[in-house]
Chains A and B, each alone.
Chain A
Amino acid sequence: MFQKSDLDELFNDLEGSHGATEDYDRLLKQTHLAIALFDAKKPLDDQFDPIVVELVAKHQPGG
């Protein structure tokens, strides 16, 4: 399960790379949902942006 430190790193990463883009809101929404599904041990389907999938994989606990 994502802990605060994992979340801080992930969201800092997302903000740094996409915070100034028009896509940020959409990516942030998807990222929160992706984390919730990861925490619930559910797979991410192909509706998720590859950027989000990559971020979650990069910062996932024990990843």
Chain B
Amino acid sequence: MTDFLETTLDKFTFKVATDRLYSAEGVWVKVENGHARIGLSDFVQQRSGDVAFAEIKPEGTTLAAGDDLANIETIKVNITYTCPVGGKIVQVNPAMSDAPEAINREPYDAGWLAVMEVADWEVQRARLLDPQAYFEIMKGQAEEETRKS
């Protein structure tokens, strides 16, 4: 059972799962059985809006941290998210091609983007944020969005 950090601003509640690490951009990484599962945070999916299409780099692609991983088209924007870790994509979520709204429905579960084979995990994890650190950054981003709207 995943635990969450939560904050509510205006009518929106944003959750940060505590069982994984994050980039400041809001891309999460969860290590399972030696592989890294990657997805978007709840704040990112709420800010971006309903997902129309999700194009993920294909299986077999080798990426460095910071390379483009996914292009997400929503009813509001087109956004490219970068890969928070380097490695090889070994699986793309099949739901991304036919039901990308899973990103909105279950960002920390069924809405994952890809699974990667990651080398030097201990080195790479040092560049990621723990849930509390991302939570603080996310709160700042959410407050900024609220001020703008």
Q: State whether these chains interact.
A: no
